[in-house]
Structure 1
Amino acid sequence: MKVKLAVQVFSTSVADALEYCNKDLRLAQFNESDATVDFCRIVDQLFDLFNTRNSLSKNMFKKPMTESRLPFITSFFKEAKSYIVGLKTVEGSQLVLSARKKGFLGLIINMTSFERIVQKYIIEKKYLSYLLTYKVSQDHIETFFCAIRSRGGFNNNPTTLQFEAAYKRLLIHAEISSKATANCLQQDETYILNISSNKQRQITSVIDNLHEVDDNIDDACDEIINVVDQSLYISDIIGYISGFIVRKLNKKINCQICCSALEDNLICYKFLNRKNKGGLIKSSADVFLICRAAENVFRNYEMISSGNVILRLIYLTKKQLKICELFVKLNDHILDQDPLNNHLLQLVNLILKTFFTIRLHHKNMSINETKERIRHKYSKLILFKNQ
């Protein structure tokens, strides 16, 4: 399993989704999910402590390790170790003593190692004022291996000469970066190899925000929809997505009056409230109504290969809407504009275009993930037979 996927599975987002299905939707299939929620949260908090990157972070689990934070770190690590040691298999034996113990023993070893590093190099010898744990992770060497493979057309079994040639080229000519499809992605702007020169080199970030939309739309949605009250479930998810759309549009729209019509903090969206830690946006009822109508059109629309699909979907959705009843706050505002520059129509079009772009992206990703990839399946088999 790829590292970037494992991190998304054992995350707070998954725990929030399980709690939402259990406590808000009250689905029978999730009645006993509390233990899974606890497991996801503990592992996610450990991942955060093992990958601290910013010395100014405000999150308790993403702050760097310092002398003043050692009591908190020690206390949490003690609880986490006790929890991991107490995990049992279906047969009733301890998980850390089973055949699948490596990952859990690795977590315990990491916790013990970081405690001793802080104690020795920060408290006793005063070599460091704080420790950013991401700097000592194996992500950097994995990124380096990815760069080596890319030099040979992503050949995952290079010869000695190929490795030597790729290493020399990277050492002399290039800095290391990883591809979006790699097993491990860079999390900061630290470079393994750097070439000195007389002129100051400008370093640009190579990190892509891959979960901005994926955090809002989980791949498990389609399976859950079959067993829940669709109107309640879809309404909550659309409320969450509509908030994301408002955030996107606020960056594009220059008209403050139009921006103010997009938000309404008084509306209650259950799923958004459960996910919200203070930074999410609540859309107005009109934005939600437009997105809900767009979702109905998208689900009932038969895809065609010719023409602009998004324009077709926008046209069909606008036929279902009573646009004159939307954004009443803008009634006086649009009187000052000429018919071809009507902010109301432009706003509706922007909302629909953003929504359908998100939905088509998610649909395309879902379809591609179901395709069988022969190279991925047989790659190791071929290598082991020396072919």
Structure 2
Amino acid sequence: MTRSCSAVGCSTRDTVLSRERGLSFHQFPTDTIQRSKWIRAVNRVDPRSKKIWIPGPGAILCSKHFQESDFESYGIRRKLKKGAVPSVSLYKIPQGVHLKGKARQKILKQPLPDNSQEVATEDHNYSLKTPLTIGAEKLAEVQQMLQVSKKRLISVKNYRMIKKRKGLRLIDALVEEKLLSEETECLLRAQFSDFKWELYNWRETDEYSAEMKQFACTLYLCSSKVYDYVRKILKLPHSSILRTWLSKCQPSPGFNSNIFSFLQRRVENGDQLYQYCSLLIKSMPLKQQLQWDPSSHSLQGFMDFGLGKLDADETPLASETVLLMAVGIFGHWRTPLGYFFVNRASGYLQAQLLRLTIGKLSDIGITVLAVTSDATAHSVQMAKALGIHIDGDDMKCTFQHPSSSSQQIAYFFDSCHLLRLIRNAFQNFQSIQFINGIAHWQHLVELVALEEQELSNMERIPSTLANLKNHVLKVNSATQLFSESVASALEYLLSLDLPPFQNCIGTIHFLRLINNLFDIFNSRNCYGKGLKGPLLPETYSKINHVLIEAKTIFVTLSDTSNNQIIKGKQKLGFLGFLLNAESLKWLYQNYVFPKVMPFPYLLTYKFSHDHLELFLKMLRQVLVTSSSPTCMAFQKAYYNLETRYKFQDEVFLSKVSIFDISIARRKDLALWTVQRQYGVSVTKTVFHEEGICQDWSHCSLSEALLDLSDHRRNLICYAGYVANKLSALLTCEDCITALYASDLKASKIGSLLFVKKKNGLHFPSESLCRVINICERVVRTHSRMAIFELVSKQRELYLQQKILCELSGHINLFVDVNKHLFDGEVCAINHFVKLLKDIIICFLNIRAKNVAQNPLKHHSERTDMKTLSRKHWSSVQDYKCSSFANTSSKFRHLLSNDGYPFK
């Protein structure tokens, strides 16, 4: 219900029109002293008790009654200062003429004496001790007559519209006017065919039944134009009222009112980290199935917009759920806002849900800077419904805020999805022409074909590599196709003048450009360097140069038939990056560059879908299924996840980081997909019976590790085996590189690794050998302790903690990964810690399944590791799912108090 200002004689209402005129509305303070000051300033009397008026929880005052000095500005928002008291025009606007019923009121003709009793007429309150002039009385009378006249005119107009449709049902009238689509008509007829709309009182929203609310919200979500048309007939409420109806405390579809209440408390407490956010939206497929829910004694599986199930026989079942999440621009908070069960997540429906969400966040004082969606057909429809123009010639990257005509919101497509579209287009065209040359897909195929090539057998090897007799080329299959590593590798192979790579200059330029674009829209760390760093006034010129170059090249892209790609069928990936570039420039010019804005820098990963994908990953873990869940399964999993990760010190924690989610989402964009698609054979490393631990004199391992005793040699064998197993499971390029020993003369060139190999074994890195050595020493130390009498799981966790504690004193492990730590968010559980955990768990699984039964012996007596049964490695495949129960809590205190909701 629309609220009105509580000041005597003020008729200002909290509507969209009022806010567009620059008015703001403020609730009475909760502080007792400050609240009493406001009450005395308002000076109203309760008509029933004849005593001073006490404001209720919904009482508000408009900004007309405060001085300009009472406000403080935060960019485009402003709020009252602490201790501000209303003092303007509290008695100036008089109550006017006599009206009928409850609206009757009376103007005080003379001031009340000091010793008079407080008097009130019927249901209204009046100011005390302040006389009104005769001119003010006449003005009030004229204003009141004008308002009554306007209301009568609208009433007559609506009466004519209703009379014109006498004998017709509302849905029939809308069909007659050709206002409904076929899909919307079928839905409304199925669910509201017997709805007696003319019998209800649509003027009082407090008296709306559940069916009336469901009809109003369904009509609004299907079509705002139809809703506005029906509002002229039925006096339907404003969309701001619908936002409150769709809020639920129960674990059911709709907005989560508990989350909104928490965010509102943080904003009201002056926490600036919660004043700005980005909004993510995504649809998730559901299995269409009706299920009986014993807890609610009802069938589940119907569409539900948040006001009850649309359970008519002819209504289609829910096939998708639309999820919404807010991500803090400052701080590190992210939280889901709610979900909705729909039959088809059309672009227009998602646009309506976005408008409601943005308005609801605005109601609690949070400003939405940008919206991010997938780059799908429905997402494009949603963008157009919001007012976004994606055409290259006439691009518009912002849309109007639903609650403020003076505010705009930027729009982004998810960068990872755009990369996938560009990859598909590149592979489909095979060759892409542009002003700097031609990019050929075949160069990537030739690159992965170099796997396991021996340097001694390759022609035209430079003299610097002539001494690497026992080295092979190993292509890091986890490397992204569009990356600096692949571009550098092609550049090096071009310098060798190898025939397959003689014309790869265009390919190198194209791959570098796409990589630079992704780095710009994936900055995660305020300490990041180059294009991976934050958006600052100091870095804007460099970033803007790349964005301008991308636009210049993308508009000239063409296939082998000279057809312009940006105007063809596979243009969305390129146009999406151009739209994101315009949105980023707009955000910089409006929020980062102006000195008055509280934006020292901007991290672009705040506009990534990685946050939402992390929540979905956790949701799937609760579901314990890879297939699409039913409505009932999704609802219960959502409730369990929300219960498990309730706000504890305002922090949501998870065992998976956003950086890992980003890498996992781009797994199908790595070089290994090219190997699989084109059947490039990759030689599997095996252990031979003889000579595996001989002739290590040329390895660059430390002197301590060159002790060729039987025990040392077997540990190095284990290290090599661990390296090869993890390289097949890890998805991080830098972590895989750290597992192998490389020659100092040619350690790494892009995605190419020059790895020494002897009798089928890739030499492990020195750091990996040291970790395996420490693992074995700790296991042997505790092998005779009482801990080994515990069950296997408890014993494994105990050993993991002891090994990690021992490793904490070694600071020179995997030094090549130091720079890699700044690629992700600033947190304790980084890739260095994860790599150590992965190595430890992998080693313990190998030792528990094999070495425990066959202790380390002399080489001639040890078990041939080549013949190990595959079942011994089943647990290794799941090593990444294991975790340290107590070790993770050891690092938890290092996290920022700002929290990582659902991180």
TM range (shorter): 0.5 to 0.7
Equivalent residue number for residue 146 of structure 1: 617
Q: Show the 5 A alignment for 1:43-82.
A: 43-57=514-528, 59-82=529-552
CA distance in 2, matches of 1:221, 1:21: 18
Equivalent residue number for residue 39 of structure 2: none
1:317 to 2:692 alignment: yes
CA distance in 2, matches of 1:329, 1:83: 47
Q: Show the 5 A alignment for 1:69-218.
A: 69-124=539-594, 125-174=596-645, 195-197=646-648, 206=657
Q: Report how far residue 120 of structure 1 moved.
A: 0.4
Q: Report how far residue 136 of structure 1 moved.
A: 1.5
- Equivalent position SS for 2:611: helix
Select 1:357's aligned residue among 722, 725, 750. 722
Maintained 8 Å contact 1:52/1:63: yes
Change (3 A) 1:204 1:39: same
- Equivalent position SS for 1:61: helix
1:343 to 2:707 alignment: yes
Q: Rg larger in 1 or in 2?
A: 2
Unmatched tracts of structure 2, length 5 or more: 1-415, 424-478, 731-903
Q: Report how far residue 123 of structure 1 moved.
A: 1.7
CA distance in 1, matches of 2:572, 2:520: 19
- Equivalent position SS for 1:81: helix
Change (3 A) 1:197 1:33: same
Q: What amino acid maps onto 1:354 in structure 2?
A: A
CA distance in 2, matches of 1:146, 1:68: 37
Change (3 A) 1:202 1:141: closer
CA distance in 1, matches of 2:503, 2:699: 43
CA distance in 2, matches of 1:50, 1:358: 32
Maintained 8 Å contact 1:67/1:122: yes
Once the two structures are superposed, residues 148-202 of structure 1 have per-residue CA deviations (whole angstroms, 9 ceiling, x without a partner) of 334333354333333322222222223xxxxxxxxxxxxxxxxxxxx32369887
CA distance in 2, matches of 1:97, 1:199: 48
CA distance in 2, matches of 1:218, 1:77: 26
CA distance in 1, matches of 2:701, 2:566: 61
Maintained 8 Å contact 1:314/1:353: no
- Equivalent position SS for 2:722: helix
Equivalent residue number for residue 492 of structure 2: 20
Higher RCO structure, 1 or 2 (CA under 8 Å, sep 6+): 1
Q: What amino acid maps onto 2:576 in structure 1?
A: G
Q: Report how far residue 93 of structure 1 moved.
A: 1.6
CA distance in 2, matches of 1:71, 1:203: 37
Maintained 8 Å contact 1:149/1:156: no
1:41 to 2:512 alignment: yes
Maintained 8 Å contact 1:88/1:95: yes
- Equivalent position SS for 1:86: coil
Q: What amino acid maps onto 1:14 in structure 2?
A: V
- TM-score calculated relative to the size of structure 2: 0.24
Equivalent residue number for residue 500 of structure 2: 29
CA distance in 1, matches of 2:716, 2:591: 53
Select 1:10's aligned residue among 462, 482, 498. 482
Maintained 8 Å contact 1:21/1:30: yes
Q: Report how far residue 21 of structure 1 moved.
A: 2.7
CA distance in 2, matches of 1:314, 1:114: 59
CA distance in 2, matches of 1:123, 1:172: 41
CA-atom RMSD in angstroms: 4.2
* Structure (1/2) with the larger strand percentage: 2
Change (3 A) 1:110 1:199: closer
CA distance in 2, matches of 1:146, 1:327: 42
Q: Provide the identity percentage.
A: 26
Q: What amino acid maps onto 2:589 in structure 1?
A: Q
CA distance in 2, matches of 1:53, 1:93: 37
Q: What amino acid maps onto 2:483 in structure 1?
A: S
Q: Report how far residue 344 of structure 1 moved.
A: 4.4
CA distance in 2, matches of 1:127, 1:355: 52
Maintained 8 Å contact 2:555/2:566: yes
With 45-54 and 146-155 compared, the bigger mean Cα shift is at 146-155
- Equivalent position SS for 2:535: coil
Q: Report how far residue 117 of structure 1 moved.
A: 0.5
Q: Report how far residue 29 of structure 1 moved.
A: 1.7
Q: Report how far residue 132 of structure 1 moved.
A: 0.5
